[in-house]
Amino acid sequence: MPEAPYLVAAVLVSAGVTWGLRALPFTFLGRLRSSELLAHVGDGLPVGVMLILVLHTVRDTDLVDLRQAVPVGVGLVVTGGLHLWRGNALLSIFSGTAAHVALASALW
């Protein structure tokens, strides 16, 4: 087992690196606020996140097996419908996930 000073040094170095990596983006924050590219990325990011979630959801789904296809389909419809209606990504993702889990549990 390593000595106590070695363990303390390892923890301090790890904490310093972690703090530094988390603080680093804030040094560029002033320059990024006026960036047109960042504004464009921010506009398209929610759609990209939703697309990734949809692809991740349906990638292993056997669309012939209704016990798998129905919960996935209903979850996607709930997510998409709520997102179009309310425009709240958090609400739509959580609600679609809840609908999927509830149906998958009921049909299993």
Q: What is the mean pLDDT of the chain?
A: 89
End-to-end Cα spacing for the chain: 49
Q: Given a cut of 90, is residue 31 above it in pLDDT?
A: no
Which one has a higher pLDDT value, 30 or 83?
83
Q: How confident is the model at residue 63 (pLDDT cuts 50, 70, 90)?
A: confident
What residues contact residue 93 under an 8 Å CB cut-off, 6+ apart? 50, 53, 79
- Mean pLDDT, rounded, for 45-74: 87
What's the pLDDT at 39?
A: 83
pTM summary value:
0.58
